[in-house]
Structure 1
Amino acid sequence: MPKHLPATLLEACAHLSNVDPVMGQLIREVGDCQLHLQGARYSVLVRSIISQQISVQAAKTIRKRLQRSLSNRHLSPRTVAALSDTDFKTIGLSRQKRGYLRHLTELTLNGTLNFRSIARNPNDESIISTLVEVNGIGKWTAQMFLVFGLGRLDVFASGDLGLRKAVATHYNLPTSATSQDYEALALQWSPFRSIASWYLWRSLEM
């Protein structure tokens, strides 16, 4: 059992190990949970949009170019709004993703998308419904925001290909398994499905 974790993560690991021997073994093999928030909430969504349908390395390159285009100023709605189409082209963003970022930025600046209000909302499904109204944000991106932007502990993205691969490997799910099958299996990990997901993602690197 990992020993150097905040109390909530220790509680999560103990719960997961108690309810699921397979998950308990993964926790022992992977070690301490390193799940943490990934910066300001607006920037989490910007990074998610940039990363859609491209390789991890390509996404890193574009994020670095974006930061350089901001002259190393803080990534924020105001600094992104100041970028021109030429700036976006130089960064390497497609026209579609430029549109997504401009829509996200506009809604954030005019207050339609209020991250403080979103963070205070205890209902994850309600937050997902709000976020998917933004161009370029689907259910998966909204779920990743819940985990990495808000630190919600009980999220399981049944459509995530990495999670599906890990679950199929460790729990012998057939190729015909549906999202409902994955969600049913994940119920045993509640209220710490985000932590279980983190261990499943890490297991793919072992």
Structure 2
Amino acid sequence: MTTRASAFVIEPQGSYSLAASARFLWGFKPATYQGPREADHLHLAFNGARGPLGVCLRESKGRVEGEVHGGDAEQARRQVARILSLDLDGSGYDEIGSRDKVVGRLQTEYRGLRPVLWVDPYEAACWAVISTRISMVQAAGMKERLAAELGDSVEMHGEQQRIFPSPEKLLANGQRLAAFRGLFGRKPEYLLGIARAALDGKLNADRLRSLPAEQAIEQMKQLGGIGQFGAELIVLRGAGEPDFLPSGERRLLGAIASFYGLPDPPPRLEIEALAEKWRPFRTWVCVLLRASAGS
């Protein structure tokens, strides 16, 4: 069913490019991006409080304009702002490039790129479980099949956009999840536990962002199937914590070693010293470094 569209506008504070966000999503396999591949045009679809939401985004005169299909415009605006890291004033991020020549060069090369986050911490947590001990391509395919078989969809411009199953949908399909091809071991059990935690409010992005990052990460490690890497993913790329230095992402370490002429892997103390210049956007700089390394 086609629903009447509503609209919103976001005015970025600091440098931003919707085209840079779109290019990032095109190359990010876990996103399983379904929308148009045009500069300054991006489609997002996610679960809203009142059902599935679709948002068609365009950039005009420095503003991000959203056309909402299927739900509340204000909720969609808040969600999109967090996903595209537009809920923060990025002016201070622009200034980091003047303190660190490597960052400055990459900011010029990837002009306007901010972290593009998971739809929410819940979906980030599910990805952490799904992707364990399989390749990213396999995990992306499984995430897409879960959306197609158990999730909702929303129509935008005559096309159906599939949405990853909501917590309610996962819990209602527990038996199907247990038999789902490729979800081996305790993964179905872990996914159901994540769904319950989401419904209990434990994966609320605002709640996680209100906590010190270390505390939020420790809380996420209490979820079944979530270790340090997954917990950091949930808090940094799910909730959108902007200023944290990940503990040991292999691709990030390789990028730091390459750009700064350090041993591979670089010593933790040297990384921490470098990262002091990146405050209060250490997460953003790490995303930029990883993007530059093609990851």
Same fold (TM over 0.5): yes
Instruction: Please list, as runs of the form range in 1=range in 2, the aligned pairs for 1:13-28 lying within 5 A after superposition.
Output: 13-14=94-95, 16-28=96-108
Structure 1 range deviating more: 157-166 or 87-96: 87-96
Which residue of 159, 170, 175 corresponds with 2:248? Answer: 159
Aligned residues: 203
Determine which structure has the larger strand proportion and give its number. Answer: 2
Contact 2:244 2:283 in 1 (8 A): yes
Residue 83 of structure 1 aligns with an amino acid whose one-letter code is: N
Contact preservation (8 Å) 1:38, 1:149: yes
Matches within 5 A, 1:163-202: 163-175=252-264, 177-202=266-291
1:97 maps to amino acid: K
Residue 193 of structure 2 is aligned to residue 103 of structure 1? yes
Shift of 1:86: 4.3
Normalized against structure 2, the TM-score is what?
0.61
Instruction: Please give the residue correspondences for 1:112-127 in structure 2 after superposition, counting only pairs within 5 Å.
Output: 113=202, 115=204, 118-119=207-208, 121-127=210-216
1:11 aligns with 2:101: no
Runs of 4+ aligned structure 1 residues displaced above 4 Å come to: none
Name the one with the larger helix percent.
Answer: 1
Q: Which residue number in structure 2 is paired with residue 44 of structure 1?
A: 124
What is the rounded CA distance, in whole Å, between the counterparts of 1:167 and 1:137 in structure 2?
26
The whole-number CA distance in structure 2 between the counterparts of 1:152 and 1:160 is 16
Equivalent position SS for 2:222 = coil
Alpha-carbon displacement from aligned partner over 1:145-188 (angstroms, at most 9, x marks no partner): 22222221102213111110100100111136333432332222
Distance across 2 between alignment mates of 1:100 and 1:187: 36
Q: What's the TM-score, normalizing by structure 1?
A: 0.85
Structure 1, residues 86-134: CA drift from partner, whole Å, max 9, x if none?
A: 444334211232232122223334x373526733523111101111111
Secondary structure of the structure 2 residue equivalent to 1:8: coil
Q: Identify if the C-alpha distance between structure 1 residues 107 and 158 changes in structure 2 by more than 3 Å, giving closer, same or farther.
A: closer
Gaps of 5+ in 1: none
Higher relative contact order (CA 8 A, sep 6+): 1
Worse-matched range after superposition: 66-75 or 185-194: 66-75
- Structure 1: which amino acid aligns with 2:127? R
**What's the C-alpha RMSD, in Å, of the aligned pairs?**
2.6
1:58 aligns with 2:147: no
Identity level (%): 26
Displacement, 1:193?
A: 0.5
